[in-house]
Structure 1
Amino acid sequence: MKSSVAAVVWSMIYLLLLLSLLTPLRVLTPFFLIVPGAVLFASQPFRTFAMCIIPVALILAIVNPLFLLPMAYFLIPALIMGRAYKKSVPAFHTLMIGTGVIIAEFLLLLLLATTFFHFDLSHYIRQIVTEMVAPLQDMANNNPLTQVPWDDSATQNIADVTVLMIPYALIVTSFTMAVITHALVRPILSSMGMAVPKMKPAREWRLPRALIWYYLLAIIIEWIANGSGGGWATTIAANLIPLINICFVIQTIGFFFFLVHARKWSPVLSFVFAGIVLLIHPLRIIGIIDLAFPLREAITRSKR
């Protein structure tokens, strides 16, 4: 009985989240749309899951048939992540699977839109950036205190950089959606009595040492890009280096959690250090050192 009530509640939450796309909340809603589907699929038999999803689809079709598209888009990663939770797949693998599915869906939609509707993503983004920057450009040019006028070429440069960073934005957004989904779904399923694998404690976060070689390769590609003045090298460098830097930030946070745990300091310091690392990105050098040298082992030995 409790399971049936929970299924109905989650189907209602799913419907409300989808309908919120009609409101200004649509800026935040997509980050949570995978959660209800994953919870339902992981916690219910397929028959019950289908009986919960079909009414939601019918209501959306009555309100606006176009809303079936985002429902289908977010339902696919929900099914795959929900299946991973059912099979007790390790948490990190579930995150990677969810991220990969979201990216693959976006690329498929982009391919279909480009092929059948002649949609140009780069042109669309340039247009959006130009519209967003236009008020700032007017303010800068009409302000007597502004030393350097903001011309159209400056706006064009911003648009070019934005287009260049599309792969980076896609990967980070997809990973963020998967992380938010896992962070919410795991405790929900655990409260329902399901054993769902946790992420490793932050103090055990250690990325592959090969990441340093990837970073060196990215720097070399960036040098090539600076000499070539554009092309594939510029695109790779503009996206690969920021992604690797995020990895170094994660490694640095993991190191500080390890340090606090090894020294038996107050756990609050772990979050303080993490906040400082997020605010002061150059501290990621600590993560690079932690990858390149046995820094944690040295701390453990010195403690003895």
Structure 2
Amino acid sequence: MKGLKTGTRPLLWSAAALLLLLSVAVPVVNIVTIMLLVVPFAVLYVILPVGSFAVHVAAVWFAAFVIMGPAALMIGFFFIVPAFVMGELYRRKTAARTVMTGVTLTLLGLFLLELAALSFIFDIQLIGEMGRLIRRNFESLADEGLLPTDVWTPDMTETLIDSMVASLPMALIVISFIYAAFSHWAARRALLKSGVEVPAFRQAKDWMLPRTFVLYYLIVIVLDFLTPEQDGSFLSVVVINLLPLLRFAFTVQAIGFFFFLAAQKKWHRSVPLLLAVPVLLFPPLSLIGVLDVAFPIRKSFVRP
């Protein structure tokens, strides 16, 4: 492909990028469209030379700036960076896991950069504002008699706020991971239709965490027992965030084990999906994933 002589496909993707960027200003609709914003830019980066890609992005940003103002440039920058990382990794034919890692870390870095910018440039303390909002909501509920003051005390509100603030890193990681996974899935399907081969995720039945994750999990559990709850220390914050993240990883591993069983037993594809529901709803069942990683239990199900 040379220059802009690639047919109407790049123009259609640029139009899609512009529409998605503008839709961010539309309440409710933006909840859905914001999940897709990385996709058109990533596709454009792959199907076009770098120079042509820059021209298309500049045209999209200029049109969005004329319609929305400077906010369009800020939003566009946030999504163009992970799109660039994703597109570059696609061009290098890297594994899907590497793409996921790269995009997740990029999004996480952007979130942190955004928090820093809000604090130092705009003097907006997002965490402090979040705490004040929660306090006002609980005070309003108490004033309306919807929150019994003999059951819920101000100290409990402060404990909830401290817990939410301490869990913020985990929340950012999970959001970044989910967004990266969805963007990769959507961009890969779009590129395949454009005739571009993109590495896929490993099938669910082949998912397997490194065995060292079990050791990490045990260490974090021990630290959780030894660390005073909500003491505000760095170690406490690390444990608060790592424990649910590792538990989630082993929950995904358990779901992979169900798909492995389904493949071995020739079960219907709906069976592992149904089995995944209680694991997602009842976190202690993530122990299935821990056992799957720690011990070679799959060998006993493999047909000779």
TM-score, scaled relative to structure 1: 0.91
1:277 aligned onto 2:286? no
The 3-state SS of whatever aligns with 2:111 is helix
- Answer whether contact 1:137 1:151 (CA < 8 A) is retained: no
Residues 118, 126 of structure 2: 8 Å contact kept: no
Shift in alpha-carbon separation, 1:118–1:194, aligned structure 2, 3 A: same
Instruction: Name 2:119's counterpart in structure 1.
Output: 114
User: Structure 1's 69 and 153: CA in aligned 2 closer, same or farther, altered over 3 A?
Assistant: same
Contact 1:221–1:236 (8 Å) recurs in 2: no
Matched, 1:6 2:9: yes
- On the 8 A contact 1:224/1:233 being kept in 2, the answer is no
Distance 2:179 2:34 in 1: 8
Give the corresponding residue for 2:84: 79
Distance 1:270 1:228, change over 3 A: closer
Q: Does 1:67 align with 2:72?
A: yes
Secondary structure of 1:199's counterpart equals coil
Deviation string, structure 1 residues 52-109 (Cα, Å, up to 9, x no partner): 2112111222221122001011101101101111111100110000001111122223
Q: Specify which structure has the higher proportion of helix.
A: 1
Quickly say closer, same or farther: Cα 1:128–1:41, change in 2 above 3 A.
farther
**What is the one-letter code of the residue matched to 2:201?**
M
Structure 1 unaligned spans of 5+? none
In structure 1, the partner of 2:30 is: 26
Question: What does the per-residue CA deviation read over 1:27-73, in whole Å, with 9 as the maximum and x for residues that have no partner?
Answer: 34432211111111112222332232112111222221122001011
**Aligned-pair distance for 1:135?**
4.6
Task: For 1:278 and 1:19, locate their aligned partners in 2 and report how far apart those are by CA, in whole Å.
Answer: 35
Letter in 1 for 2:95: P
Residue 200 of structure 1: aligned partner: 202
Matched, 1:254 2:274: no
- Residue 16 of structure 1: how far off its partner (Å): 1.4
Amino acid at match of 1:156: E
In structure 2, relative to structure 1, the CA distance for the partners of 1:142 and 1:282 (3 Å cut) is closer
Any stretches of 5+ residues in structure 2 without a counterpart? none
> Which whole-Å CA distance do the structure 1 matches of 2:194 and 2:5 have between them?
10
Question: Which is further off, 173-182 or 24-33?
Answer: 24-33
Deviates most, 238-247 or 32-41:
32-41
Contact 1:253/1:274 (8 A) holds in 2? yes
What is the aligned partner in structure 1 of residue 132 from structure 2?
127
Change in Cα spacing, 1:138 to 1:263, as seen in structure 2 (3 Å) is farther
Which residue of 2 is the match for residue 43 of structure 1? 47
Amino acid at match of 1:30: I
**1:148/1:29 CA distance change after superposition, 3 Å:** farther
In structure 2, what residue type is equivalent to 1:46? V
1:252–1:286: 8 Å Cα contact kept in structure 2?
A: yes
CA-based RMSD = 2.2
- Within 5 Å, which residues of 2 pair with 1:154-165? 154-165=156-167
For the 8 Å contact 2:142–2:149, the answer to whether it is kept is no
Give me the identity figure in percent: 32
1:33–1:134 Cα change, 3 Å: farther
Partner SS state of residue 206, structure 1:
coil
| 1:103 alignment partner in structure 2 | 108
Q: What SS does structure 1 have at the residue aligned with 2:24?
A: helix
- Stretch deviating more after TM superposition (14-23 or 196-205): 14-23
Could you list the structure 1 runs, at least 4 aligned residues long, displaced by more than 6 angstroms after superposition: none
In structure 2, the CA distance between the partners of 1:57 and 1:294, relative to structure 1 (3 Å rule), is same
What is the distance in 2 between the residues matched to 1:297 and 1:216? 24
Matched residue of 1:4: which SS? coil
The residue type paired with residue 186 of structure 1 is R
Q: What are the equivalent positions in structure 2 for 1:113-192 lying under 5 Å apart?
A: 113-138=118-143, 141-142=145-146, 148-192=150-194
Structure 2-normalised TM-score? 0.91
